[in-house]
Amino acid sequence: MVVKVGIINYSVGNLGSLINAFRRVGGEVQLIGPENPHLVRSVDALVLPGVGAFDAAVKYLSQIVDYINEAVSSIPILGICLGLQLMFEGSDEGVLRGLSWYKSWVKRINGPRVPHIGWDLVRVVRPCPILTNDDYYYFMHSYAVINPGGEVPYSGITKYGNDQILSVLCDEDRLVFGVQFHPEKSSRAGLEVLRRFLSLSRK
């Protein structure tokens, strides 16, 4: 069964590797933007990708945010890197409010090197259907939710310096998921995350 995947196109950066990764795991990709927001209602899963800056992405999403909010709890939604950060109230990277689906703030990381680039361990602390085992994934970011509290439904963390970075968000009740790493750049383990995400649309 082919799963129709809608990827929000912020019109910045290259989505080619993400598109190819979803196609490899059985996804039929549809790019969605202000010119065709109604397509959110016709896809089986929705992705907020990890390209661009926070405020620029918020401004872009403001043109289609009603459609995106409507999709919550209806179809699986995956935020990748910046896409995950947009689900929170705001970010130190900008001044605009995020989607505010979750009550926390995105902060500049304080690890040994900023940005945090390269492979790092994601430790699963709570069960999540998109990621069940500890493994290494590829990160590329300067901001993250740090030391997430109980109000955030996180299931994976990554230690960076003295901080615990929220690396996997898992809200099964609302069908909302997020990863701070880039699954499309994370080889076998990353493709498995995308495959598991798509499988949720068939349930």
Does 70 participate in catalysis according to the annotation?
no
**Tokens, residue 201:** 């649309």
Neighbours of 48 (CB within 10 A): 23
Of the candidates 81, 93, 128, 192, the residue annotated as catalytic is 81
The single residue of 128, 141, 170, 182 carrying the catalytic annotation is 182
Count how many Cα atoms sit within 13 Å of the Cα of residue 163 in the half-sphere of its side chain.
19
Single out the residue of 43, 94, 49, 91 nearest to residue 71, CA to CA.
43
Inter-CA distances, 148 with 41, 52, 58, 71, 151, Å: 32, 23, 22, 25, 8
| Alpha carbon distance 147, 167 (integer Å) | 11
Instruction: Give dist(CA 76, CA 72) in Å, integer.
Output: 8
Specify the amino acid at residue 33: G
Structure tokens at 94: 């900008």
Residue 81 annotated among the catalytic residues of the structure: yes
Catalytic residue among 116, 128, 184, 192: 184
Q: Which residues contact 138 (CB under 8 A, 6 or more apart)?
A: 118, 119, 181, 182, 185, 186, 187, 190
Query: 170 an active-site residue?
Result: no
Residues marked active site are found at: 81, 182, 184
